[in-house]
A and B are shown apart, each in its own frame.
Chain A
Amino acid sequence: MLLRHTPKEVTERTALTINPAKTCQPIGAMYAALGIHGCLPHSHGSQGCCAYHRSTLTRHYKEPISAATSSFTEGSSVFGGQANLLQAISTIFNVYNPEIIAVHTTCLSETIGDDLPQIMKKSIDEGNTPEGKVVIGASTPSYVGSHVTGFSNMVKAMANIAEPTGKKNGKVNIIPGWVEPCDMEEIKRISAMIGVDITLFPDTSGVLNSPLSGEYTMFPKGGTTIAELKGCANAIGTLALGEWCSADAARFLDTKHKVPCSILDMPFGLKATDRFINALRTVGGTTVPEEITDERGQLVDFISDMHQYFYHKKVAIVGDPDQLISMAEFLMSIDMCPVYVITGTPGKRFEKRIKEITKESPFPVNVKAQGDMFLLHQWIKNDPVDLIIGNTYCKYIARDEDIPLIRWGFPILDRQGHQYFPTVGYKGGIRILEKILSSLLDRNDRDAPEEKFELVF
Chain B
Amino acid sequence: MPKSKKVVEWKPVDIKTELLKQYPPKVARKRAKQILINEAQENSAPPEIMANVRTIPGIITMRGCTYAGCKGVIMGPTSDIVNLVHGPIGCSFYAWLTRRNQTSASGEKNENFITYCMSTDMQDSDIIFGGEKKLAAAIQEAYDLFHPKSIAVFATCPVGLIGDDIHAVAKRMKEKFGDCNVFAFSCEGYKGVSQSAGHHIANNQVFTHLVGTSTTEKTDKYKINLLGEYNIGGDGFEIDRILKKCGITNIATFSGNSTYDQFASANQADLSCVMCHRSINYVADMLEVKYGIPWIKVNFIGANATAKSLRKIAQYFGDDSLSERVEKVITEEMPSVEAICKNVYPRTEGKKAMMFVGGSRAHHYQELFKEMGMKVLSAGYEFAHRDDYEGRQVLPNLKVDADSRNIEEIHVEPDPSLYKPRKSEDEKSSLEEKGLKFKHYEGLNPDMESGSIVIDDLNQYEAERLVQLMKPDIFCAGIKEKFSIQKMGIPMKQLHSYDSGGPYAGFKGAINFYQEIDRLVNSKVWSLMKAPWEESPELSATYVWE
Contacts and interface: CB of A to CB of B under 8 A. Distances in A.
Interface string B148-168: 000000001110111000000
Contacts of A396: 115
A11 B63 CA distance: 40
B135 A15 contact: yes
A252 to B, nearest CB: 22
A345 to B, nearest CB: 10
Given A46-B190, A73-B193, A5 B98 contact: no
Max chain A C-beta neighbours (<10 A), residue from B98, B134, B160, B483: B483
B489 interface: yes
A142 B161 CA distance: 14
B55 interface: yes
A77 interface: yes
A456 B126 CA distance: 58
Contacts of B191: 74
Interface in A302-357: 344
Contact of B23 (A45, A52, A84, A94): A94
A60 to B, nearest CB: 11
Given A24-B89, A142-B88, A212-B529, A19 B57 contact: no
A74 B402 CA distance: 9
Nearest to A109: B157
Interface stretch (B136-144, B294-302, B370-378): B136-144
Contact of A212 (B91, B406, B479, B487): B487
Given A18-B117, A24-B93, A95-B23, A214 B461 contact: no
A148 to B, nearest CB: 12
B533 interface: no
Chain A interface secondary structure, helix, strand, loop or mixed?
Answer: loop
A452 interface: no
* Size bracket, chain B contacts: 35 or more
A413 to B, nearest CB: 8
B90 A142 contact: yes
B55 A59 contact: no
A382 interface: no
B161 A47 contact: no
Contact of B120 (A15, A73, A112, A216): A15
A55 B89 contact: no
A107 interface: yes
Interface string A1-38: 11111010001011111111011111100000000000
B203 to A, nearest CB: 19
B113 A55 contact: no
B142 A107 contact: no
Contact of A216 (B2, B123, B464): B464
B145 A17 contact: no
* Size bracket, chain A contacts: 35 or more
A72 interface: yes
A273 interface: no
B394 interface: no
B58 A90 contact: yes
Contacts of B141: 13-16
Interface in A209-257: 210, 212-218
A192 interface: no
B87 A107 contact: yes
A215 B487 contact: yes
Nearest to B482: A58
Nearest to B197: A74
A144 B124 contact: yes
Contact of B190 (A59, A76, A218): A76
Contacts of A56: 94, 98
B112 A26 contact: no
A84 B58 CA distance: 8
Interface stretch (A63-71, A172-180, A361-369, A431-439): A63-71
A143 interface: yes
A420 to B, nearest CB: 15
A107 B484 contact: no
A87 B189 CA distance: 20
B85 to A, nearest CB: 10
B487 A46 contact: no
Contact of B57 (A3, A4, A70, A218): A70
A143 B157 contact: no
Interface in A109-136: 111-112
Interface in B70-111: 84, 87-98, 108, 111
Contact of A143 (B124, B193, B488): B124
A68 B115 contact: no
Given A108-B157, A144-B123, A51 B529 contact: no
A20 B57 contact: no
Contacts of B22: 94-95
A51 B123 contact: no
Contacts of B334: none
A229 B93 CA distance: 32
Interface in A129-171: 141-144, 146
B157 A77 contact: yes
A218 B60 CA distance: 11
Contacts of A143: 88, 122-124, 126-127, 158
B265 interface: no
Contact of A52 (B94, B122, B460): B94
Nearest to B487: A216
A48 B65 contact: yes
B117 A73 contact: no
Contacts of B2: 214
B24 A26 contact: no
A59 B127 contact: no
A272 interface: no
Contact of B24 (A76, A91, A213): A91
A1 B112 CA distance: 10
B291 interface: no
A85 interface: yes
A75 interface: yes
A179 B323 CA distance: 61
A62 interface: yes
B54 interface: yes
Max chain A C-beta neighbours (<10 A), residue from B68, B145, B157, B402: B157
Contact of B89 (A69, A88, A146): A146
Interface string B26-37: 010000000000
A77 B94 CA distance: 22
A328 B347 CA distance: 54
A11 B145 contact: yes
B121 interface: yes
B61 A48 contact: no
Given A49-B65, A142-B90, A5 B113 contact: yes
B144 A45 contact: no
A58 B480 contact: yes
B427 interface: no
A90 B24 contact: yes
B366 interface: no
A96 B60 contact: yes
Nearest to B480: A54
Nearest to A4: B108
Interface of B: 1-2, 22-24, 27, 54-68, 84, 87-98, 108, 111-113, 115-124, 126-127, 134-138, 140-142, 144-146, 156-158, 160-162, 189-194, 402-403, 406, 460-461, 464, 478-480, 482-489, 529-530
Given A47-B63, A68-B58, 19 more contacts: A1-B108, A3-B115, A11-B144, A14-B137, A54-B480, A64-B483, A64-B484, A64-B487, A69-B58, A69-B60, A71-B55, A73-B403, A75-B402, A107-B90, A107-B157, A112-B161, A142-B89, A143-B123, A216-B464
Q: Would you list the 9 A-B pairs with minimal beta carbon distance, nearest first?
A: A48-B65, A24-B90, A91-B58, A88-B58, A15-B137, A46-B189, A142-B88, A52-B94, A64-B484
23 contacts: A15-B135, A16-B84, A16-B138, A16-B145, A19-B117, A47-B64, A52-B68, A52-B91, A56-B94, A66-B60, A68-B60, A71-B55, A87-B56, A90-B58, A107-B90, A108-B190, A111-B161, A142-B89, A210-B487, A212-B489, A214-B487, A215-B487, A218-B460
